[in-house]
Structure formats: C-alpha cells, structure tokens
Structure 1
Amino acid sequence: MTTPAQWQKSSFSGGGEGNDCVELASAPTTIHLRESDTPHTGVTTAPAPLAHLLHGIKTGRLGTGTPDVTEHCP
C-alpha cells in the first residue's frame, strides 16, 4: 500500500498531551485512516463504506440491526 503524502488530523483531536487523534488522507477512490500514535498502521476503505459507518455512529444504529428507513425515503 502506498503511504499518502498529506494527512489531515481530526478536528476532535484530544488537544492534551501527545498525539491522541485520528488522521485521514484521501485519494481519488480510497480513504486512508490511521491513529497518530501508530502512523505506520492504518486502514484503507472506499468513501461509501466509510460514509455508512459514520452515519451509523451518528444515528446510534451501528450494530443494532435497525435499518435507517429515512435514508431510502424520497
């Protein structure tokens, strides 16, 4: 895997001691995520699965098996 040149720190970084934050970098078809504490270890995903994960976290439906019916309504 090629390491991205430009990483962006989360706006919700700890702000205290050390590097306790998530960083991300984007490429045309992938998103790279890593934790500042371990910059050589990360995950790569496509934008759509990451968007679904974040939506599940924000709505509290992650892992509940409850679908978000509003997502499919016009």
Structure 2
Amino acid sequence: MGNWRRSSYSGEGDGNNCVEIAASSTHVAVRDSKAPNRATLGFPMGAFTHFLEALKSPARR
C-alpha cells in the first residue's frame, strides 16, 4: 500500500477528525486518523473511484 494521505479539507483543529487513505494500483485502504493503528477498510480501486464520483455528483448537493 502507498503512503497514507489525509484530506485536504482537514484544517487546523480538525486534523484528527477525518479519514486517511492509502492507494496501490488495485486497492484503496481507508482508516480513521484518530486511531491509525486500528483496522482499515479496503476497497477495489474501481469501487472507490465510483464512490468518489458519486459524492461529487450534483444530485448529492
């Protein structure tokens, strides 16, 4: 898995209240930034990409 990245929306004071992701060429792992040593969720890259596209769709706004 690649390096863990935190959301760019995590500003000062909120840095511990978000999720982090790490990506490989085939999967994405997601973890809670407050508990990075606990379990992660894993998703196939295609499913995660579809999830992000759905979040960005105008119907969600």
TM-score, length basis structure 1:
0.63
> Which structure's relative contact order is higher, taking Cα pairs within 8 Å and 6+ residues apart?
2
Per-residue deviation at 1:18?
5.6
Q: What residue number does 2:55 align with?
A: 57
Q: Distance in 2 between matches of 1:19 and 1:12?
A: 12
User: CA, structure 1 residues 17+10, in 2 after alignment: closer, same or farther (shift >3 Å)?
Assistant: closer
User: CA, structure 1 residues 21+14, in 2 after alignment: closer, same or farther (shift >3 Å)?
Assistant: farther
Which one of the candidate residues 9, 13, 25 is aligned to 1:12? Answer: 9
Q: Secondary structure of the equivalent of 1:32? A: strand
Which one of the candidate residues 24, 37, 58 is aligned to 2:34? Answer: 37
Q: Name the Cα RMSD after superposition.
A: 2.0
The runs of 5 or more residues in structure 2 that have no matched partner are: none
Per-residue deviation at 1:30?
1.0
Which has the greater radius of gyration?
Answer: 1
The runs of 5 or more residues in structure 1 that have no matched partner are: 62-74
Q: What residue number does 1:26 align with?
A: 23
